[in-house]
Amino acid sequence: MTEIDDSTGFRAGFDPALAGRRAECDGGAALAGTRYAGRQFFAGTLTGDYRDYGDFPWRWYLMGELTKAPAGYPHEAVWCDSGSTEIDEEDTPRAER
């Protein structure tokens, strides 16, 4: 396993088995003007890219081609915590279709 890059704080990688898989994830975001966070739901396609943080990896997957996102979400992709990501088990990667 490669070392964490000190300039970024994470170790980047790619998992071809996840590329093109449909998935859903939820997470939190700060509620403006409060000290609270609200839940956000996303659905889209995993790119296969991931980032590991820490010596005991805390993995995040990159999801693009979003089909569901919170109203007003300004980005075309989102990083999803692996523990909050549900991969569509019936979906097959595009390369195998």
The pLDDT tens digits of the residues spanning 61-71 come to 999 999 999 98
Is there a contact between 28 and 85 (Cβ–Cβ < 8 Å)?
no
Q: Is the CB of residue 63 less than 8 Å from the CB of residue 51?
A: no
**For residue range 12-23, what is the model confidence (pLDDT) as tens digits?**
999 999 999 999
Return phi, psi of residue 51, to 5°: -135, 135
- Please give the average pLDDT of every successive group of 10 residues along the chain, which has 97 residues: 76 95 88 84 97 91 96 91 91 54
Whether 63 contacts 77, CB under 8 Å: yes
Question: Whole-model pTM?
Answer: 0.81
> By the 8 A CB rule, do 95 and 20 touch?
yes
